[in-house]
Structure 1
Amino acid sequence: RRIFIKEPHEMVFLTTKVMQRTALFVTFGGLVTSLITTFLPLWKTMNSDLNEVENWFSGLWHTCLYTEEVGIQCKAYDSVLGLPMDLQISRVLMSVSIGTGGLAVLAAFLGLEGVEMCVGHPGLKRVLLILSGVLSWVSGLTTLAPVSIVAYTTVVDFWNEGFPDVMPRWEYGEAMFSGWFGGLALAIGGTLFFVAVCMGDYDQRPPGVPKNPQVKHRRQNYLKTEVL
């Protein structure tokens, strides 16, 4: 008689299809967060100790003033060339982030398993998922970069000893943290797309090739074992 050891059952809840949809969900969430961050006027905030009822907010496209009597009033910047260099760079990078993130979501949707597009072309779907991962990474980096640049310039100006102590200074706004969150979500979504591609390649291996080399090695040893 020969002794055969059965292979352990694989976990079926973490499939390639589930990983693809998880990557798409995370990427789409990061894209929406980055889009909201781009147009929020809360990149920087300022509150004067001399006039505590006034709160100033600054974003990439306009500045806002909030008072208890009037409420919030926003005004667009008069000139693009008159903006600080960090805001000009941030505008361009955030626009690139939104564009690449949108293309990543579109390409990922076409490359999903179960979507009746590009049916019969698994190679094309694989390329679309890889493209989605690359675009998600680019979108994530172009979101993290401007937020980090504005954060750095805000810290430098805040601790600038050349400004009088009584002068109000800009501080971090809520949009800074949402930008970091959106950028990380886009980068994680891109990574998950590559994980889904690797899982798909693993599942498409020929049936004769064992998926676990250690199991193959143990199986050969077990086949040589006989019970007297």
Structure 2
Amino acid sequence: FTAMEKRPEKKMVFLTAKIMQRTALFVTFGGLVTSLITTFLPLWKTMNSDLNEVENWYSGLWHTCLYTEEVGIQCKAYESVLGLPMDLQISRVLMSVSIGTGGLATVAAFPGLEGVELCMGRPGLKRGLLILGGVLSWVSGLTTLVPVSIVAYTTVVEFWDEGFPDVMPRWEYGEAMFSGWFGGLALVTGGTLFFVAVCMGDYDRRPPSVPNSLQVKHKAQHYLKTELL
């Protein structure tokens, strides 16, 4: 009798640690760009008056703008940092921290990607860089979500403040608030995906278990005896 050789079937794996690493870096970089744009957009809060509908006011972390149909949009920087409300001062600092940590996350994680020639032959260092990138991405995401949520909270409180006369216009949410939430969630998601990629890499590099090795050895001996017969 001739033994039939069993060849392992090749399975196409679409979700690997390498793909997960690149997905995490892409999501983190997208969140970083969104947070960067949100920081400098003067659209955190918007206000228009029923008495003069042709004027729209916009407020951001660095500028306040007025839009009219005749002139267009005109922006002016805040004259004094200490004269700003406390929520805007805190938001400035946290958004600056978010941009810095998000940039460091992408720079730290890039050499840790599989296929990148940097740090070749040092899997432990690559793993550590991916973990560092995930932690920094988390910090960047949280420092984006916190200031946006603070400004949103103060806007709601001031909008429903009964001490203001009803005829006075009040600030409402601007487009930058929603882009800030999206950027913060993207950064947190990117950091989570970095940790998932690290776990997938550890699973792929795990040593074979002893029972599986003995089973393979027993099958090889069985095939050898069959060939001798």
TM bracket (short chain): 0.7 to 0.9
Structure with greater Cα Rg: 2
* TM-score of the two chains, using structure 1 as the length reference: 0.88
The list of structure 1 runs, each at least 4 consecutive aligned residues, that deviate by more than 4 angstroms after superposition, is: 6-11
User: Percent identity, aligned pairs only?
Assistant: 87
- Using the alignment, how far apart are the partners of 1:160 and 1:209 within structure 2? 69
Are residues 1:106 and 2:107 paired?
yes
**Shift of residue 10, structure 1, vs aligned partner:** 5.5
Match of 2:78 in 1: 77
Match of 1:175 in 2: 176
- Residue identity matched to 2:164: F
Name stretches of at least 5 consecutive residues in structure 1 with no aligned partner. 1-5, 211-215, 224-228
* TM-score of the two chains, using structure 2 as the length reference: 0.87
Match of 2:42 in 1: 41
Q: Deviations over 1:113-151 (max 9, x none)?
A: 111101111100000000000000000000000000000
Residue 58 of structure 2 aligns to a residue whose secondary structure is strand
Evaluate the alpha carbon distance shift between residue 209 and residue 122 of structure 1 in structure 2; reply closer, same or farther with a 3 A threshold.
farther
Residue 143 of structure 1 aligns to a residue whose secondary structure is helix
**Shift of residue 206, structure 1, vs aligned partner:** 1.2
Residue 73 of structure 1 aligns to a residue whose secondary structure is strand
**Shift of residue 7, structure 1, vs aligned partner:** 8.9
Q: Indicate the RMSD between aligned Cα atoms, in angstroms.
A: 1.9
**Shift of residue 11, structure 1, vs aligned partner:** 5.2
Name stretches of at least 5 consecutive residues in structure 2 with no aligned partner. 1-6, 220-229
Evaluate the alpha carbon distance shift between residue 207 and residue 76 of structure 1 in structure 2; reply closer, same or farther with a 3 A threshold.
same
Q: Deviations over 1:6-51 (max 9, x none)?
A: 9997651101100000000000000000000000000000000000
- Aligned residues, how many? 210
Match of 1:125 in 2: 126
- Using the alignment, how far apart are the partners of 2:126 and 2:81 within structure 1? 41
Evaluate the alpha carbon distance shift between residue 160 and residue 7 of structure 1 in structure 2; reply closer, same or farther with a 3 A threshold.
farther
Are residues 1:56 and 2:57 paired?
yes
Evaluate the alpha carbon distance shift between residue 8 and residue 169 of structure 1 in structure 2; reply closer, same or farther with a 3 A threshold.
farther
Evaluate the alpha carbon distance shift between residue 97 and residue 22 of structure 1 in structure 2; reply closer, same or farther with a 3 A threshold.
same
Match of 1:213 in 2: none
Residue 64 of structure 1 aligns to a residue whose secondary structure is strand
